[in-house]
Chains A and B, each alone.
Chain A
Amino acid sequence: MNSVLTPILALLWKDILLETRTKDIVVSVMVFSLLVIVVFNFAIEPTPTLVALVAPGVLWVAIVFGGVLGMTRSFALEKDGENLHGLMLAPGSRDGIFFGKMLSNTLFMLLVEAIVFPIFTVLFGLSLAEPELVLVAFMATVGISTVGTVFSAMAVNTRAREVMLPLLFFPVAIPVIVGAVEATGFVLRDADLGETVQWVLLLAAFDAIFLVVCPFAFHLVIEE
């Protein structure tokens, strides 16, 4: 196996194993996301017109804020006991560490979305079982976890890591969040496919940019 793929798979294996033991990330992200959805469900009158208007925003606020919470925990795990140094001692490229952590963050967020989406459907009376929406959710999650991984590696070295990560993350991730909200809105309103596609293309463009830039930034962040 090549030097990039080996640490990616090893990290993924380790993170899944740890998560099955502790359930720290998935449970906290899921509970937070569900709480946000429930609070919004009580806060607004769920008429069909209003729901179609605000539901995409509510859904992605829940997912993104929950995801930030999970990513803070994900790197705190590596910082405790300086385990990040343990990862850095492996002979593979540092890119392998980045993509390994990014993939496990993506996996945990997708798992949470798989639980949150059906509950959202029930509470807001909207069907999220659209193939286009699955694509939008996947691309947005990849973008969010790519940016989130590099900034959580940066924030974990600060004293107020829980506060610092959202401050660093949101300004950079705004294009992905806007793209996800708009694309979800168009899908839920059964709008013309072309309008959805332009937001999907925006998501794809930002995913591509982040997937190239973030590993470079990660190198600089983790080395003292």
Chain B
Amino acid sequence: MTDGAGQRGLAIDIKGLSKAFGRTRVLHNLDLEVPWGEVLTILGPNGSGKTTLIKVLATLTRPDEGEVRVAGANIARLGQRTRRITGVVTHDPLLYDELTGYENLKFVCRMFGLDRIDDRIASVSEELGVTARLSQKTGALSHGLRKRFSIARALLHEPSILLMDEPDSGLDQEALAMLDTVITDRTGPTKTVVMTTHNLERGLALGQRLAILAGGAIAFEESVRSSSGAAALRKAYFHHTGARV
């Protein structure tokens, strides 16, 4: 936390973010502040820009306009630093089918230049319940197990900020409970989680703040504590997006 936003205690500070793919405007003048220690859940219909927002924060996509700061660092200039402190779970599991679970996780450790590789793999595998699957090729695993490995790979370097794009999709009840634990364990004064989901109940249960993304910008924000519940939020969601959740 070296400058402006970091000193104000913001994990993520986005000002005027715009992003278009060709003629399709995905994000438009989006502002968002996420303090340290918060779990922010972003809701939005398909095509509302949730994935693009996560990709921008993860430095996978360059913004067209606006300033994005993660832990006080402008990601356009300090992308390497941003990637070191963020763990990212995307739609795709980012696994090589022909490698085993262990080899996939070991590869991530080596890409990050981590030490104590076996300890880290053992720890996250146990947390995600995939220890028994480490020796299997990930191409032979079910969607849910691949998703668990995908979450495990994002946790290996013990990131301060966790960015998760619909991490609950395709998970069974046991895995969902594990995901809840992963998120809860990573809540604290120096940790922040930003996740997108279609599941309103899950968003309410795990998030401390909910935001609805519509028209390329944050259309609605509410603290879960002050929320009047799922029914009211569902109504707000319909009001802002015209879609049902």
Contact = CB atoms under 8 A, between A and B. Distances in A.
A17 B110 CA distance: 14
Contacts of A1: 113
Given A89-B60, A89-B83, A7 B93 contact: no
Interface residues of A, number: 28
A131 interface: no
Contact of A7 (B61, B97, B111): B111
B92 A85 contact: yes
Nearest to B59: A88
18 contacts: A3-B80, A10-B110, A13-B110, A14-B107, A14-B110, A17-B99, A82-B90, A83-B96, A89-B59, A89-B83, A89-B94, A90-B111, A91-B84, A93-B80, A223-B60, A224-B21, A224-B60, A224-B61
Given A7-B111, A9-B110, A10-B110, A18 B98 contact: yes
A14 B58 contact: no
A9 B111 CA distance: 8
Nearest to B90: A85
Interface string B83-123: 11000101011111111000100011011110000000000
Interface of A: 1, 3, 6-7, 9-11, 13-14, 17-18, 21-22, 77, 81-83, 85-93, 223-224
Contacts of B93: 81
A92 B96 contact: no
Contacts of A90: 83, 108, 111-112
Given A10-B111, A85-B92, A90-B112, A21 B98 contact: yes
Contacts of B96: 14, 18, 77, 81, 83
A91 B158 CA distance: 13
Contacts of B80: 3, 91-93
6 residue pairs, one from A and one from B, having the closest CB atoms? A86-B94, A10-B110, A90-B111, A91-B84, A6-B113, A82-B92
B221 to A, nearest CB: 27
Given A85-B94, A224-B61, A17 B103 contact: yes
B198 interface: no
Contact of A224 (B55, B113, B153): B55
Contacts of B84: 91
B60 A85 contact: yes
A224 B110 CA distance: 25
A37 to B, nearest CB: 30
A76 B187 CA distance: 38
B62 A223 contact: yes
A2 to B, nearest CB: 9
Contacts of A83: 92, 94-96
Contacts of A85: 60, 90, 92, 94
B244 interface: no
Query: Which of B80, B111, B112, B153 has the largest count of A CB atoms less than 10 A from its CB?
Result: B111
A6 B110 contact: yes
Nearest to B163: A89
A87 B58 CA distance: 12
A168 to B, nearest CB: 21
Contacts of A223: 60-62
Given A6-B113, A81-B97, A92-B113, 15 more contacts: A3-B113, A14-B96, A17-B103, A81-B93, A82-B90, A85-B90, A86-B95, A87-B111, A90-B111, A91-B81, A91-B84, A91-B112, A93-B80, A224-B21, A224-B55
